[in-house]
Copies of this chain bind each other. A is one copy, B any other.
Amino acid sequence: MLKDSRSQPEDLSTLYQEGSSAANQKREQILQGAMQVFLQSGYAGTSMDRVAAEAGVAKQTIYSHFQDKEGLFKALMEQVTLDRFRSVFCLEDFEGDPAVRLRQLAEIYLTKVADQNYLALTRIIIGESERFPALARLWTSTVIHRGRSLLSRYFDAHPELGIEDSEAMAHIFFGSLVSFMLTQEMLYGKELIPIERDRVVTTLINLILKSSREE
C-alpha cells in the first residue's frame, strides 16, 4: 500500500495473521508499544528508546523487525489506519427513513470519534500530512472516501430528498460532522464555545429535509 522500498514488502501480511509464531508476537508487541508513544508524542517527538521501553523489548529487537524509525512509523500507521477503516464501516445495512437514519449516522459517528485514540490518530495524520503524504493519502482513500461514497449512494437511493448533487451533499454532511469533532473535541471548543451537538445535527438534518419538501 505505502510505497517504501526500504520496508519489508510483506509488512501487510501480518495484519491478517493472528500473531501465531513467536517472532510475530514480538512484532505485535513492538507495534503496540510504538502506538502508545507515536500517537502521544508524534513522529519527531518519539524516541526509539521510549518505544523499546514501552514495548518491553530491547531496542535492537525493534531493528530486527523494522528497518528504521521511519519504517516502524509507516508500518504502524498503515495498520492503525486500516484497522480504523474496518471498524468504522461495519455498518453495511444503511437503509431506511432518512429522518431517522441520517440522525442515527451522525450520532454514531460523533460518538465514535470523540474517543481519545481516534482523536490522536486524526491529529497525527493531519500533523504529519506534509512529511508523510503516503499516510494522508491512505487515510483519504479509505476512511474519507468510503464514508462519503456510502452516504452519497444513500442519497441517490432516496430521490424524494431532491438532492441534485449527492457527492457535494455528502461532502457537506460529513464535513459538518468532521469540523464539529475538530473544533469541539480537539481544539477545545467544548470549553470555549460550547454548543450541544444535537443543535448542529438537528439543524443539518432539517436543512436537508426542508430543502427537499420545497421541490
Residues in chain A within 8 A of chain B (CB atoms): 40-45, 120, 123-131, 133, 136-137, 139-141, 144-145, 148, 164-165, 167-169, 171-172, 174-180, 182-183, 186-189, 192-193, 195, 199-200, 202-204, 206-208, 210-211, 213-214
Contacts and interface: CB of A to CB of B under 8 A. Distances in A.
Per assembly, the copies of the chain total 2
Contact of A130 (B123, B144, B200): B123
Contacts of A189: 140, 144
A214 B165 CA distance: 20
A68 to B, nearest CB: 16
User: In terms of DSSP, what is the predominant structure of the interface of chain A?
Assistant: helix
Given A123-B127, A214-B213, A168 B195 contact: yes
B195 A42 contact: no
Contacts of A187: 125-126, 129, 136-137, 139-140, 144
A69 B164 CA distance: 52
Given A126-B127, A165-B199, A199-B167, A137 B42 contact: no
Contacts of A124: 127
A170 to B, nearest CB: 10
A9 B168 CA distance: 48
26 contacts: A41-B131, A42-B127, A43-B45, A123-B126, A123-B127, A126-B126, A126-B127, A129-B188, A137-B188, A139-B187, A140-B183, A140-B188, A141-B192, A144-B193, A164-B203, A164-B206, A168-B202, A168-B203, A171-B176, A171-B180, A175-B178, A175-B183, A176-B179, A207-B208, A210-B211, A213-B214
